């Protein structure tokens, strides 16, 4: 199967880039059996709303993963309990709304998806290694994609090594800067430290430079504004052997959406 994973869709420029460029990607890189996107920044950089979720499903997403920002819009927390195709990180404590993994079937193919969050320079939650291990046991799927939403490159590499051969792909999100280390590891797991961001690439990881800089210069809280210029769509295309679940290839997507 072929899976398209799209990196953090950021605000309106990101949503527009995803919807606008998916048809071109389908013809140049597809067809895709599954389109998975990280949606935690879809609502002006902070979380999700029900209407934006519907917009992104209508634009072509099959499954959405998220991260620490998925809690930013209070009204969306309930949606996480209702909509099985939108995941939040699996390693939040028991009792947290929503779910962190799921089994998705399309055109006779089944893909397990796990969303998990790092702990280095992130809020202290449960162990991502053990939580992923438990999710894999419950899923029992041959083909599994893991979105590891984490800040530190070392934590992401360590997760990829630990799960090499146990999942089809482990892709990093959250830093919004696409890394150039996409590779199939020796055990057959496709890995990239960070898939990048779908949104404006002229600001500071999605926000206007002018709205961010006072935070750095003065240390005072700022009201961030979404940057709109130089939109790009970034992510990866992953080919998975349906029989074994091993990754065959992982290629970067990095395209102007102007």
Ramachandran assignment for 159, one of left (phi > 0), alpha (psi -120 to 50 degrees), beta (any other):
alpha
Q: Is 174 in the site for Fe ion (CB under 5 A)?
A: yes
Secondary structure of residue 80 in the 3-state scheme: helix
Contacts (CB under 5 A) with Fe ion, residues 86-145: none
Q: Is 188 in the site for Fe ion (CB under 5 A)?
A: no
* Binding window for Fe ion (CB under 5 A); candidates: 11-19, 66-74, 140-148, 190-198: 66-74
Catalytic status, residue 69: yes
Site residue total, Fe ion (CB under 5 A): 3
What is the nearest approach in angstroms of Fe ion to the Cβ of residue 175? Answer: 8
What is the nearest approach in angstroms of Fe ion to the Cβ of residue 116? Answer: 12
Number of Cβ within a 10 Å radius of residue 118: 25
Complex with Fe ion: residue 32 or 92, whichever CB lies closer? 92
- Residue 133's beta-bridge partner residues? none
Q: Per DSSP, which regions of the chain are E strands?
A: 2-6, 34-38, 63-65, 101-106, 109-117, 144-149, 169-173, 183-184, 190-192, 199-200, 231-240, 247-256
* Binding window for Fe ion (CB under 5 A); candidates: 12-20, 65-73, 102-110, 207-215: 65-73
Q: Is beta strand 169-173 parallel, antiparallel or unpaired with respect to 231-240?
A: unpaired
What is the nearest approach in angstroms of Fe ion to the Cβ of residue 105? Answer: 28
Complex with Fe ion: residue 117 or 189, whichever CB lies closer? 117
Complex with Fe ion: residue 151 or 164, whichever CB lies closer? 151
31-43 burial by CB neighbour count: b if 16+ within 10 A, else e?
ebbbbbbbbbbbb
- Give me the DSSP letters along 161-186: HHTBTTBSEEEEESS----S--EE-T
Options 13, 67, 100, 235; binder of Fe ion; rule CB under 5 A: 67
Complex with Fe ion: residue 1 or 192, whichever CB lies closer? 192
Per-residue binding letters, 203-242, with Fe ion (x by CB under 5 A): ----------------------------------------
Active-site amino acid positions: 69
Which residues of the chain form contacts with Fe ion (CB under 5 A)?
Answer: 67-68, 174
């Amino acid at each position: 199967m072929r899976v398209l994973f799209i990196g953090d869709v950021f605000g309106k420029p990101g949503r527009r880039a995803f919807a606008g460029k998916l048809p071109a990607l389908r013809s140049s890189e597809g067809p895709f059996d599954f389109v998975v996107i990280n949606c935690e920044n879809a609502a002006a950089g902070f979380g999700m709303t029900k209407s934006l979720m519907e917009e992104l499903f209508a634009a072509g997403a099959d499954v959405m993963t998220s991260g620490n920002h998925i809690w930013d819009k209070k009204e969306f927390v309930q949606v996480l309990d209702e909509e099985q195709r939108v995941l939040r990180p699996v390693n939040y404590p028991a009792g947290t709304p929503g779910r962190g993994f799921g089994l998705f079937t399309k055109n006779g193919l089944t893909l397990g998806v796990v969303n998990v969050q790092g702990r280095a320079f992130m809020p202290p939650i449960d162990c991502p290694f053990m939580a992923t291990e438990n999710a894999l046991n419950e899923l029992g799927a041959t083909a599994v994609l893991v979105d590891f939403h984490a800040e530190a490159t070392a934590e992401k590499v360590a997760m990829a090594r630990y799960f090499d051969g146990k999942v089809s792909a482990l892709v990093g999100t959250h830093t919004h800067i696409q890394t150039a280390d996409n590779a199939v590891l020796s055990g057959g797991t496709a890995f990239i430290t960070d898939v990048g961001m779908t949104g404006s690439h002229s600001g500071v990881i999605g926000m206007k430079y002018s709205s961010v800089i006072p935070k750095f210069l003065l240390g005072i809280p700022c009201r961030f504004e979404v940057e709109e210029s130089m939109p790009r769509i970034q992510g990866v295309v992953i080919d998975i052997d349906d029989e074994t679940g091993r990754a065959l290839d992982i290629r970067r997507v990095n395209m102007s959406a102007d």
